[in-house]
Structure formats: C-alpha cells, structure tokens
Amino acid sequence: MTPTTPPTPTPRPQRGWLLASAIFALLTVFAYFTLDARVAHWVHDHRLDALMKKWVWVRKLRVIWPGHFLCTLVIAACIATLHRTGLRGALQLLLAGVITASNSILKWIAGRSRPNWKTGQPSFDFTPFRGGIKGLIFQENLAFPSGDVALAVSSAAVLGHLLPRWRLAWWLMAAVVAFQRVAENAHHVSDAFAAAALGVVAFHCARLACKLLPDSREPRGFDVIATPRS
C-alpha cells in the first residue's frame, strides 16, 4: 500500500498586529481617564519636563532620532544595502513611515491641545477640525496622536519583522521616543498609546502592500532559530 503524504497545513493569517493595535487602543482610553492628568502634573512637579527641554537638541539632530523621518531614511538605506530583503525591506520600512504621516489628519480631526509644560496642566478638550482647512495645513499645538511615537513604533514593528533577533532593541527604541515626548510634557500618555496603535496598523498596511508587489515573497528577516546542519 502506497503511503499517502499528509496535506500541507494552510498557514494561518497573522493577527498579532490586530491584537496589538486593539491593546494600544484600550490603553489609550484607560490612560485618558486615569493617567494623563497625574503624569502631566508629576512630570511638571518634579521638573522632568524642564530637564527634557535641555536635551531636546538630541531630537533636533533628526538623523539619530527614531521619531523623525530622516532617521527612517538612514535605516532604510542600511536595510537596502545590508539586509537580504534589499530594496523590498527598505520600501516596507519607508511605506510604514509614510502611512504614519496620517497622524496630522487625525490630530486635526481630534483637535486636542498639548499639555502646558509651563504649568503641568493637561488638556482634555477636543475641538474637531480646529481652524477649518487652514488648520489642517498649518497646525499649532495639536497633540493627539503623537507623530514621533507613531513613526518610531511603525519602524520598530517593521525592523522586528525583518530582524526578529533584535526585536527587543527596536521596541526599546520606540519606548525611548514615547518616554521623551511624555516626559517633556509635549504629549499626554494617551497620545503616545494612540500613536502606537497607529504605528502597528501602518506596519500591517505596509506589509500587505509589499506582498502585492509582483514576483515577491513577504520579507521574513533572519531565522530566529538556526537550522542544525546534518
């Protein structure tokens, strides 16, 4: 009797991005009602926001700040040159970053102001579509969600996908960006969590877009566990 080969199981769709974005969304609501005011006051009372202002020059260097697109361009160039996915991996990183630029539209729709770092006073008021169309183009003092954090999270998600061995380092990078924005009282805690949800969704959209490219395989990065040699 000829042995039959068992059918190859159909790969299940990856839903981790959906779970992560849902968790960040729930944390956004939780932080809005419980953490935003406490953290804003604590940061100001302990003069942490004033201290962060002295270190803001690191952020203004841009090329080494993961929350700025210029840094994303540098990382993408390294991927295109050194990583086995080449231009495809770099494109995935850049596309995810471009998608997070939608945070400007979300900021305008929400119309939430930043915390007042001079007094430590948080902002809980939402003024949708503040300033009309002009307010969309010339935005001032809008906080929800954080653009820096959204970009850093999308980059961390893509890099964790391409280089899973260093996943902890990439997410630590995003955490540092989120900490700096909250510690400077430039954003509320809920602004950072909302941005994280946006970053995860941007990663998923970029990954799907790269899969649609002709003659391509989804970039998977290096193997987590090395295959033993026979």
Whether 56 is covered by a domain: the verdict is yes
Whether 139 is covered by a domain: the verdict is yes
d(CA 119, CA 18): 37
Whether 227 is covered by a domain: the verdict is no
Within a 10 A sphere around the Cβ of 69, how many other Cβ atoms? Answer: 18
Whether 174 is covered by a domain: the verdict is yes
Q: How many domains does the chain have?
A: 1
pTM: 0.83
Q: Which domain holds residue 41?
A: 16-211
ω into 219 cis (within 30 of 0): no
Whether 216 is covered by a domain: the verdict is no
Whether 6 is covered by a domain: the verdict is no
Whether 50 is covered by a domain: the verdict is yes
Whether 39 is covered by a domain: the verdict is yes
Write out the chain's pLDDT in tens, 230 residues: 455 555 544 444 467 778 889 999 999 999 999 999 999 999 999 999 888 888 888 888 888 899 899 999 999 999 999 988 889 999 999 999 999 999 999 999 999 999 988 888 999 989 999 888 888 888 888 999 999 999 999 999 999 999 999 999 999 999 999 999 999 999 999 999 999 999 999 999 999 888 887 654 554 444 444 445 54
